[in-house]
Each structure stands twice: as C-alpha cells, then as structure tokens.
Amino acid sequence: MELQSLKQRFGILGNTPALNYALQVAMQVAPTDLSVLITGESGVGKEVFSQVIHQLSTRKHNPFIAVNCGAIPEGTIDSELFGHEKGSFTGATEARKGYFETVNGGTIFLDEIAEMPLGTQARLLRVLETGEFIKVGSSKVQKTEVRVIAATNVNLKDMISLGKFREDLYYRLSTVPIKVPALRERKDDILLLFRKFCISFAEKYRSNPISLDEGAKNLLLAYPFPGNIRELKNMAEQISVLSEKRELNVLDLKAFLPETGNTTLPAAFGETNQNSTANFANERELMYKVLFDMKKDVNDLKQAFANILQGQPMINNTSLNEVHYFDPSNNAVNIHPSNLNTNLPAPINTNNPNTLVVHTSPVVDESLNLAEREKELIEKALKKHKNRRRNAAQELGISERTLYRKVKEYNINED
C-alpha cells in the first residue's frame, strides 16, 4: 500500500517527514508478529498507529482491544488482563476471562504502559516470552497467541532508572519502536489540520467554516500545542460553536488560545528536547509551581532576616580592638573588626569595653527536596478543596490522572 492511500484510509493528514517515517515503519512492521512500542506526547494519535498496524496485519479479522493501563486500579488490573477464578478475592462471585484470553489470535493495545504496576509487568513479560499466563487465584497455566502493541507518553528509560519499570520488559516491548512527532514539530501540518476540523464541525453544526487571516494563522503556528492534535481539534470545535465571526483576526483567535504560562520562565524550560522527559507536560507545570513556591519561601526568609538586622546596630558602627566570635561548638575565634561582615548582628555580652562577644546558633536549613515540596503542595491543594481531586488538579494545573498517580506515589492520606 502506498503512503498516500494509507493516509486516506485512516484519515491521517499531514506530510511532515517525521510523520511519514513513523507511518512507513508501521506499514513495514504490520505483517509481522513483532511487539511494537509507540512513543509520543499525549494527544499525538498513538492509538491510530496501533489501528494501522492491526488492520494491515494478518490478524485484521481477529479481535482488537485497546486497554488504558492508567485507568485501571492497581488491585484489579491483573484480573482485567489475565482473568480470575471464582472466589479468588472478595467480590469474585464467578470466574472471568481476561483480555489475553478473549483476544486470543488478535491484537491488544496497551496504552500508558508506564502506569502498569511492577507485578503486572512481570506477568506481561511471561506472556511475551512464552505465550503463557495464569489467572488470578488459579494454578493452571494457559496459552495465548496475542500480539502486543504498547504506547507511552513518558521516557521509559527514566522510569527504569527510578525503579518503576522493568528493563527486560522495555527491551521486549521495543522490538520495533515508533516515535510519533508532536504537533509543534509538524508546523506545516497545523493549518491543514485546523481547516479540516473546521470544515467537519461546520457540517456538524450546519454553519459556515471558520477561516483565519494571515495574522491569526501566524499566531496559531506560534502556539506550542501541549495537548497536540487533540487540543487543536477541541479548539477548532470551540471556535466553530462560540465565534460569531467566520473569519478571525489575531485578537479574535487570541480569545480562544489558553494562557501558555508565566512568560518570565527561562527560555530553557520552553525548549523541546526529543531525548528528554518533555512528555511530562502536566508534571512539569507542577514542578514549576513547586519551584516558585520554594523561591517565595526563600525570599520571605531573606526579608525576615533583613528586618531583624534593621532593628540592631551594625558592627562597623562600633569601635573595637577585636571580637571574640563563638561558633555553635563553643570554639572561639578572634577576628579583627575590619574583617567582619557588616551584615552580622551586633555582638553582645561584653566585659571588656574593647572586646565584644558574638554567640551564634546553628542554622537549620529548610528542606529543599523537590519531592517533599511537591508532596506538600499536593496535600495543601487536597486539603483546600476537601479532597475533591478534580478541583485540586485544576488548582495545581495538572490532570486528574496525574494527581491520582502522585497521591499513590507519595502515599498521601486523603481521609
């Protein structure tokens, strides 16, 4: 099949080299039974690639199922994937077949594979290597013949270094890796996609399609689209429904563009590195909040210390022959006044009019551990919104799914 025919069949728009290469790899690997790992940011269309691979394979007439690993609770994911026997756990009133049994001979698409618990990862590895699995609560080994396509929006090598993903499973899944480019890497395709979406929504809502003048087009191209194609599509639908004008200028379009964040951030934070963990878009925003909060605390401490100093005389206003400086271990050090830091508080407790004594207390540094501050910020948001996760996630600027993962990671008590 030619590339253009493939795009027409699956409704794929764009002609960016990175997109064409990803589609070419998908076409070549489809007829085989190799495992495939699809990587790319959220909203780039990874599930479409899994459909392409399945429909072009010899399994196309057999079942296909997409499973979101991040949406299944840790306690039930083994049952969902591999099934369970009656009475194997509380609530198991009857035996149940898992996806690997029901999709035998077909394809299973495991989205957000990085969210899969380590125990389930070990079970999946056995399926990939031997085609065998055991139901929860059973001792009987069963066989299955399923092709696995996995997808993730995070850097699995980073997860491996954190001990949250099995290295052997990573290499078993990534027999053939496919990188789906982010929308901001497909600048030439943005206007084409936007026009296609606007025409579709105009037909749906029985209105004239939206168009943009040159200034609005440039503004759209400059927007980073952290939500990728999904965000562009939602934006096109919102404009098609809410805009009274059919041709938008810069000001008209700007009213529909979300705020891109604090413009005072260093440029490095906004740059895209294909080999970095830029896929943690929501978590990165949370990190920014933590860092800004830490900076504010440090500034408050500086201000408080400055206020204390302003209320006391400075050493350089005192005529001294020497100062006896006592550190926390009570070891005295003689210092000539000319070498003293003028920002130190005035010495106290003097018997000799020409000799002063300074007593210092050990400085207790506030913890600058980023994980601790992140946990503290999440706890504050949950407390503020009375454990309503959706509201807390909006306050933190992250998705509800990311918040759920962080609550589990930091073992935060929501009682």
Task: Please state, in angstroms and rounded to a whole number, the distance separating the CA atoms of residues 253 and 402.
Answer: 30
Q: Is 11 helix (H, G, I), strand (E, B) or coil?
A: coil
Q: How far apart are CA 177 and CA 109, in angstroms?
A: 14
Closest CA to 187 of 154, 228, 234: 228
Mean pLDDT of the chain: 80
What does the pLDDT read at residue 361? 46
Confidence category of residue 102, pLDDT binned at 50, 70, 90: very high
Q: What are 401-413's pLDDT values in tens digits?
A: 788 888 888 888 7
Does pLDDT of 288 surpass 80? no
Q: Is the pLDDT of residue 352 over 90?
A: no
Q: Which residues contact 144 (CB under 8 A, 6 or more apart)?
A: 100, 101, 104, 127, 131, 132, 133
Predicted confidence band of residue 272 (pLDDT cuts 50, 70, 90): very low
Q: CB neighbours of 3 closer than 8 A, spacing ≥ 6?
A: 20, 23, 24, 27
For 132-187, how does the pLDDT look when each residue is reduced to its tens digit (9 = 90+)? 999 998 889 999 999 999 999 999 999 999 999 999 999 999 999 999 999 999 99
Closest CA to 15 of 233, 181, 213, 217: 181
Supply 135's token pair: 């139901």
> Is 35 in contact with 175 (CB distance < 8 Å)?
yes
Residue 342 banded pLDDT, cuts 50, 70, 90: very low
On the 0-12 / 13-18 / 19+ scale of CB atoms within 10 A, 40 is buried
What is the predicted pLDDT for the residue at 263? 37
- Over residues 97-102, mean pLDDT: 92
Give the pairing of strands 132-134 and 141-143: antiparallel
Name all domains of the chain by residue range, CATH numbers in brackets.
3-181 (3.40.50.300), 185-254 (1.10.8.60), 281-295+367-409 (no CATH)
Q: Partners of 109 in the beta sheet?
A: 66, 149
Backbone angles phi, psi at 53, to 5 degrees: -60, -45
Can you give the three-state secondary structure of 236-282, one letter per residue? HHHHHHHCCCCEECHHHHHCCCCCCCCCCCCHHHHCCCCCCCCCCHH
pLDDT digits (tens, 9 = 90+) for 255-267: 898 875 443 333 3
- What is the pLDDT confidence band of residue 219, given thresholds at 50, 70 and 90? very high
- pLDDT over threshold 60, residue 54: yes
What CA–CA distance (Å, rounded) separates 169 from 35?
11
Which ranges in 311-354 belong to alpha helices (H)? Answer: none
Q: Given a cut of 60, is residue 45 above it in pLDDT?
A: yes
Q: What per-residue confidence (pLDDT) applies to 178?
A: 96
Contact 321, 339 (CB under 8 A): no
Q: What are phi and psi of 345, to 5 degrees?
A: -65, 160
pLDDT of 74 higher than 80 = yes
| pLDDT (0 to 100) of residue 350 | 46
User: What's the pTM value of the predicted model, to 2 decimals?
Assistant: 0.61
Higher pLDDT, 238 or 330: 238
**pLDDT higher than threshold 50 for residue 198:** yes
pLDDT value of position 290: 65
Which has the higher per-residue pLDDT, 101 or 305? 101
